[in-house]
A and B are shown apart, each in its own frame.
Chain A
Amino acid sequence: MSHKSFVWLCLLPLAVLTVAFFLLPMVRLVVTGAEGPQGLAGYLAILSEPRYRATLVNTVLLAAATTVVTLIVATVAGMFLQRHRFPGRAVLIAMLTFPLAFPGVVVGFMIILLAGRQGLIGDFSNRLFGEKLVFAYSIYGLFLGYLYFSIPRVILTIMAAVQKLDVGLEEAARSLGAGPWAVQRDVVLPALAPAFVASGAIAFATAMGAFGTAFTLATNIDVLPMLIYTEFTLAANFSISAALSVGLGIITWFILALARSFSGSAVAATG
Chain B
Amino acid sequence: MSAQAGHGASVRIEACGKTFADGTRALEPATLEIARGETLVLLGPSGCGKTTMLRIIAGLELPDAGGRVLFDDKDMTAVPIERRNVGMVFQSYALFPNMTVSDNIGYGLKIRGIPNKERAARVAELVALTNISGLENRRIDQLSGGQRQRVALARAVAIRPGILLLDEPLTALDAALRDRLRGELNRLLRALGITTIYVTHDQSEAMELGDRVVVMQKGAIAQIGTPREIYFTPRRRFVAEFIGAANIVEAAIEGGYLVLPGGRQPIHCDVDMPAAVAMIRPETIRVTSAGSASLSGTVDSVSFIGDRQRLVVSGASNRLLTVDAPNTVRVRLGERIGLSISPDAVRLLPPEN
Contact = CB atoms under 8 A, between A and B. Distances in A.
A106 to B, nearest CB: 41
Interface centre among A166, A168, A172, A176 (most CB of B within 10 A): A176
Contact of A171 (B81, B95, B112): B81
Contact of B112 (A168, A174, A177): A177
B96 A173 contact: yes
Interface in B88-144: 88, 90, 92, 94-98, 107-108, 111-112, 139-141
B154 to A, nearest CB: 12
A65 to B, nearest CB: 28
Nearest to A187: B96
Given A174-B80, A176-B155, A270 B97 contact: yes
Contacts of A176: 82, 107-108, 111, 155-156, 159
B316 to A, nearest CB: 50
B86 interface: yes
A2 interface: no
B87 interface: yes
Given A174-B81, A176-B155, A169 B108 contact: no
A168 B107 contact: no
A29 interface: no
Contacts of A271: 97, 139-141
B58 interface: yes
A144 interface: no
Contacts of B97: 169, 191, 269-271
B111 A182 contact: yes
Interface residues of A, number: 20
Contacts of B252: none
A77 B85 CA distance: 32
Contacts of B92: 166, 168
Interface in A100-158: none
Contacts of A172: 88, 90, 94-96, 155
Nearest to A176: B108
Given A187-B96, A270-B97, A271-B141, A174 B82 contact: yes
A154 to B, nearest CB: 21
A39 interface: no
B195 to A, nearest CB: 15
Given A172-B90, A175-B58, A175-B81, A269 B108 contact: no
B96 A179 contact: no
B188 interface: no
B60 interface: yes
Nearest to B91: A168
B159 A177 contact: yes
A269 B139 contact: yes
A177 B231 CA distance: 39
A192 to B, nearest CB: 11
Contact of B82 (A168, A179, A269, A270): A179
Interface string B137-169: 001110000000000000110010000000000
A190 interface: yes
25 contacts: A166-B92, A169-B96, A169-B97, A171-B81, A171-B94, A172-B90, A172-B155, A173-B96, A174-B82, A175-B81, A175-B87, A175-B88, A176-B82, A176-B111, A176-B155, A177-B82, A177-B112, A177-B159, A178-B107, A179-B82, A187-B96, A191-B98, A269-B98, A270-B98, A271-B140
Interface of A: 166, 168-169, 171-179, 182, 186-187, 190-191, 269-271
